[in-house]
Structures are given as structure tokens and as C-alpha cells.
Amino acid sequence: MNTETKGLNRRRILIALATLVAASSIMVGAASAVTPAEIKAKGKLVVGIQAANPPWGYVDSATGQADGIDADIAKAYGKELGVPVEFVGLEVANRIPALTSGRVDVLFATMAMLPDRAKAVQYSKPYIGNFIYLVAAKSTPIKTNEDMGKYSIGVPRSSQQDTDVTKNAPAGTNILRFDNDATTIQAMLSGQVQAIGGNMFYVKRLNDTKPDTYENKLQFTQLYNGACSRLGEKELNASLNAFVDKIKANGELAKIQQKWTGSSMTNFPDKVEGVPFVAN
């Protein structure tokens, strides 16, 4: 190898190393701590939300705007900070990566409080509760966990439904995993699966399409949802907790819940095992 070739290769290596360092800096910068003051200075709050999971969070096909429980609460938090909200529609599996990579500032994205998730993100105090069920047609005889083994069961990939069905179904059960709630529900409606793991709104969504056909068969888990910031973002976490306390006290939270669910829940547990509400 001649001197000119060696020099060219050396320059290529140096350029590659410089590019890698620059990319690393960008990634670190993107996931660096965000404070309420920095969000205000930026002039907008970037919120990760589920884009196809009504009434939790979804993109309205008529307006192109985010709507649902999570959207209304996120808009109220943006108003509290005095900035508009920019929504980023996310699937179940990419919610946490979108936050930790810095793509969004905070998640209002049907984030059930789970110890494993709390190792990756910082939860706020809860702002709503949820239940996980196995859902099937009324004509489908499912009364016990063992009965699940007779059917193909759909779940949104990486969701609590996925965890609960996998844990409770007999070994060998055919569990099909879909990208989101909407495709899981469609799999049931199309006959691709005979049962699905769903949250407390699945039966209504299914019966809106095929009236008086579906019901909850088995109940698995009661959950509570919170807003999520990145680990170590103490100021943002404190701001989110103060906001949740405020909308609980002034009735705004109950009003949003009533609008979307027909009932309200503001009596939340003071703690969830393995899920701290306050940043260390």
C-alpha cells in the first residue's frame, strides 16, 4: 500500500470517527434533561400519544387533530405551561423509545404503570384507571384461563394485554401480536382471531360495529395510567405532578373523564408497587 493510499484511508477513518462522535452528541443532546422553562422557551410541548386507540388517544380523520382522553389532558398541560401542543402519533412498542431518544418531551400515551417500564421512564401521579380483559363474542364459551387454549387470541404487541394473555393462557395457545389496538380489534371483526386482550373500551368499540355481539370474558389486571418523562427530569416530573393535583382539585380531570368514559375516577392509590411517582 503506497503512502497516498495510506493517507486516504487514514482520512476516511478520521471522518468516520468524527461522524460517529457527532451522531453520539446529537443522540445525547436529544435525550438530555428537559425542564418546563426549556419547553416554554422552545415555544411548544411535544407530546407522544397513541394515534389509533380511541377514546384514549387517536387522530381524528376529519380534522387531522389528536383527540381523546390523553389528548385533552395533554392540551390542558400545554395550557398550564402556556404553550401549544404538538402531537406525535405512536404505536405501543415505540412509545418509550420516542421519549428516551428525545423525539417527544413527554408521553400522554395510555402508559399503564408497570415496574419494568418504570426502570426506563419516570411516571407522574396517575390521572386515570384502566382494566385489562379477555374479550370475545358472547357465543364463544370462555369461562376459565384454560379455555383460552382453544382459540387464536390477538393482542397489541408489547402491551399489558400481551403480557396478561401470555401469562394466563395455557402453553401452546396461538397468540397473534399486532401493531396497535386498531389492528387487534380489526383482527377480531374479520375473524382472524376468536378472542383479544383488550382494555375497558374494547367491548364498546367492537359492539359499535357489530351491536350486542361481544363481551368481557375474563378480567386480568387493574391499572393506572400516568404521564411519563425521562428518568432524572426532576423539574418536569414535579410540574406534571402539580398539574395532576390541580386538575383533580378543580374538577377538570373529572370533566375530561366524564366526557370520554361517562364516569369519573379521581380516587387513586398513593403508590403503585415498583413505580415511583417522584423523580430521584
| pLDDT tens readout for residues 30-63 | 445 689 999 999 999 999 999 889 999 998 878 8
CA distances from 134 to 30, 50, 59 (A): 39, 21, 26
| pLDDT(163) > 90 | yes
What CA–CA distance (Å, rounded) separates 74 from 21? 35
Confidence of residue 20 (pLDDT cuts 50, 70, 90): very low
**Amino acid 266: pLDDT:** 87
In angstroms, the CA 35 to CA 238 distance is 10
- What is the tens place of the pLDDT at every residue in 63-118? 879 999 999 999 999 999 999 999 999 998 999 999 999 999 999 999 999 999 99
Domains along the sequence of the chain with CATH: 31-129+224-261 (3.40.190.10), 131-222 (3.40.190.10)
> Can you list the alpha helix ranges (DSSP code H) found in the chain?
3-30, 36-42, 69-81, 95-100, 115-118, 160-168, 181-190, 202-209, 234-249, 252-261
Task: Check residue 198 and give its pLDDT.
Answer: 96
pTM for the full model? Answer: 0.78
Alpha-carbon distance values, 49 to 30, 94, 103, 159 (Å): 19, 11, 12, 14
What is the DSSP track for 89-148? EE-GGGHHHHHHTTS-SEE-S--B--HHHHTTEEEEEEEEEEEEEEEEETTS---SGGGG
Q: Cα dist. 96→33, 119, 257, 261, 271 in Å?
A: 15, 11, 24, 26, 22
Q: Are strands 195-199 and 85-90 parallel, antiparallel or unpaired?
A: unpaired
132-160, pLDDT tens digit by residue? 999 999 999 999 999 999 999 999 999 99
Burial class of residue 189, CB neighbours in 10 A (0-12, 13-18, 19+): middle
CA distance 247 to 249: 5
State how beta strands 106-107 and 152-156 pair: unpaired
Burial annotation 61-83 (CB, 10 A radius, 16+ → b, else e)? eeeeebbbbbbbbbbbbbebbeb
What pLDDT does 15 receive? 39
**Of 147 and 261, more confident:** 147
Structure confidence at residue 33 (pLDDT): 67
Which secondary-structure segment (H or E) carries 222?
Answer: strand 214-230
β partners of residue 136:
195, 215
For residues 210-234, average pLDDT: 96
- Taking only the tens place, the pLDDT of each residue in 214-225 is 999 999 999 999
User: Is the sign of the CA dihedral 111, 116, 117, 118 positive or negative?
Assistant: positive
pLDDT at 278 over 70: yes
Q: Residue 55, preceding bond cis, omega within 30 degrees? A: yes
